[in-house]
Amino acid sequence: MLIAAIVALCVVLLILGFLAPRLSRHPQRGVDQAIGAGSRGAAKAPGPLGRWLPKPFRTTQRAADKSASTGRRGRAKAPF
């Protein structure tokens, strides 16, 4: 279920990045802040868990950022 939510979020950012490149930056920043808060919270775990738990958050943040930038790059290459 969580994976489906992350995929849906990436698709929304991709579409938004293609349709409104400038307006897509604010939602992208909001997603980054939300995911970053989870990552920072997970990083406070003791020992090796503090290194392992934030990794899924970083991966999700990287996927969301890549999705939004791909939409903006696709719009820049579009002939219209």
Contact 71, 18 (CB under 8 A): yes
Domain enclosing residue 39, as ranges: 31-64
pTM listed for this prediction: 0.87
Q: Is residue 20 one of the residues assigned to a domain?
A: no
Give the mean model confidence (pLDDT) for residues 52-67.
96
Q: Is residue 69 one of the residues assigned to a domain?
A: no
Q: Is residue 50 one of the residues assigned to a domain?
A: yes
69's tokens = 């930038």
Q: Is residue 48 one of the residues assigned to a domain?
A: yes
Q: Is residue 23 one of the residues assigned to a domain?
A: no
- Dist CA 73 CA 56 (whole Å): 25
pLDDT tier, 80 (very low <50, low <70, confident <90, very high otherwise): confident
The count of domains in the chain is 1
